[in-house]
């Protein structure tokens, strides 16, 4: 099947994409230890998935040491990490691709074993993740979530500064832009949503106050990059990491309308049918579509992610609901995914057991279609 809309050009900020098949940010937990810097294996992985005029959004990368919540996730706060990422960027650019880095702070989705000095993770308020869910320690063992420490008002400026400095580091590494992770129950969303934000200062209470951290972070990152090289990711109807707003429309309508005048490169929605954040196959039934709901109030470039096939991606773009589609799991197992979609080649199934941690297996050993043909 041919996908004319999916393979039409698209202007994203200053960049002209040759197609609209975006590689979604995917946590793979394969950074070098203990530096948490990208290594040659990561360089190979991203290079394999780069295409001329195609956009990769690199995996979520903590902006500060306290922002980690999973083993082996690469950071963007040390010189060694910047150097490691530079190798990744160079490999993508060598194949004519573009690459943005997703800036991340997990907040309460962490464990004291990840925290310098073994202190508690931080959040908007001291609200723990449901006891029904489990996390893992820094050495990969299952553990219950701890009750996080609420950030003091005076500490929030330091969080914003961490994102600002990470944005500078991403520029130094040669990235083409950055994406702010405001989705999937991580720190920024912990401030956004009412069940996790019980604050009574200027970062809590009203929707405008709960959105203040996101807006301050976005403005800080824009200071470094310019708005047209900055994206924001949101998951209005997501449930990942015990997230979720009872009535998302008022909150996220305010957020989308507030981001609109800034001139961002794009807004990136996680569709609710895919909000398991990688833990399991999720296919929520009878849930709204974020791209359909918020497209009328967002005039800029809109990227949507969440369980798309070539057919559903083509339909979303043809209908005007989204401008580009980010693919995750099938980009893992099909390093040449744009080529396969363009020509209707069969897709290689992914192996969920190899998503997180490890070495080459399930990471760089998936062949391109031409390699399969020659095998």
Show the CA angle centred on residue 299, arms to residues 328 and 167, nearest 5°: 55
Rounded Cα–Cα distance for residues 280 and 38 (Å): 26
Nearest CA among 236, 238, 235, 241 for reference residue 132: 241
- The answer to whether 205 and 199 have CB atoms below 8 angstroms apart is yes
How many residues are present in the chain? 375
> Is-catalytic flag, 186?
yes
Helices and strands, counts by H and E, the chain: 12, 14
Can you spell out the DSSP letters for 28-48? Answer: -----TTT----HHHHHHHHH
Out of 186, 237, 252, 363, which one is annotated catalytic? 186
Spatial CA neighbour of 293 closest among 277, 282, 304: 304
Q: Within a 10 A sphere around the Cβ of 88, how many other Cβ atoms?
A: 28
User: Burial letters for 268-306: b for 16+ Cβ neighbours within 10 Å, e otherwise?
Assistant: bbbbbbbbbbbeeebebeeeebbbbbbbeebebbbbbbb
Residue 110: other Cβ atoms inside 10 A = 28
3-state SS assignment for residue 24: coil
The residues carrying an active-site annotation are: 186
């Amino acid at each position: 099947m041919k996908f004319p809309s999916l393979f039409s050009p698209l202007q994203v900020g200053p960049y002209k994409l040759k197609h609209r098949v975006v590689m979604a940010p995917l946590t793979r937990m394969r950074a070098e230890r203990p530096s948490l810097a990208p290594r040659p294996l990561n360089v190979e992985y991203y290079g394999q998935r780069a295409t001329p005029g195609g956009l990769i959004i690199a995996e979520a990368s903590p902006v500060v040491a306290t922002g980690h919540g999973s083993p082996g996730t690469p950071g963007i706060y040390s010189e060694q990490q910047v150097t490691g990422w530079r190798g990744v960027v160079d490999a993508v650019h060598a194949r004519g691709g573009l690459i943005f880095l997703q800036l991340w702070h997990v907040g309460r989705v962490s464990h004291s074993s990840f925290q310098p000095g073994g202190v508690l993770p931080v959040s908007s308020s001291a609200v723990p993740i449901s006891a029904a869910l489990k996390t893992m320690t820094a050495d990969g063992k299952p553990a219950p979530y701890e009750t996080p420490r609420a950030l003091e008002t005076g500490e929030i400026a330091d969080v914003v500064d961490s994102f600002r400095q990470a944005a500078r580091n991403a520029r130094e590494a040669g990235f083409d832009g950055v994406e702010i992770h405001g989705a999937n129950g991580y720190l920024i969303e912990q401030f956004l949503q009412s069940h996790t934000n019980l604050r009574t200062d200027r970062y809590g209470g009203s929707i405008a106050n709960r959105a203040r951290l996101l807006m301050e972070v976005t403005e800080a990152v824009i200071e470094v990059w310019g708005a047209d090289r900055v994206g924001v990711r949101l998951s209005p109807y997501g449930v990942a990491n015990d997230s979720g707003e009872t009535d998302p429309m008022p909150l996220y309508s305010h957020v989308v309308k507030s981001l609109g005048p800034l001139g961002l490169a794009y807004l990136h929605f996680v569709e609710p049918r895919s909000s398991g954040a990688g833990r399991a196959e999720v296919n929520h039934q009878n849930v709204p579509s974020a791209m359909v709901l918020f497209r009328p109030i967002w005039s800029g470039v809109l990227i949507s992610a969440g369980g798309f096939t070539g057919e559903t991606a083509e339909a979303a773009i043809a209908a005007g609901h989204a401008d580009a589609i980010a693919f995750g799991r099938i980009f893992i197992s099909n390093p040449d995914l744009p080529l396969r979609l363009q020509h209707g080649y069969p897709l290689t199934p992914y192996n969920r057991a190899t998503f997180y941690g490890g070495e080459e297996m399930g990471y760089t050993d998936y062949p391109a279609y031409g390699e399969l043909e020659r095998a």
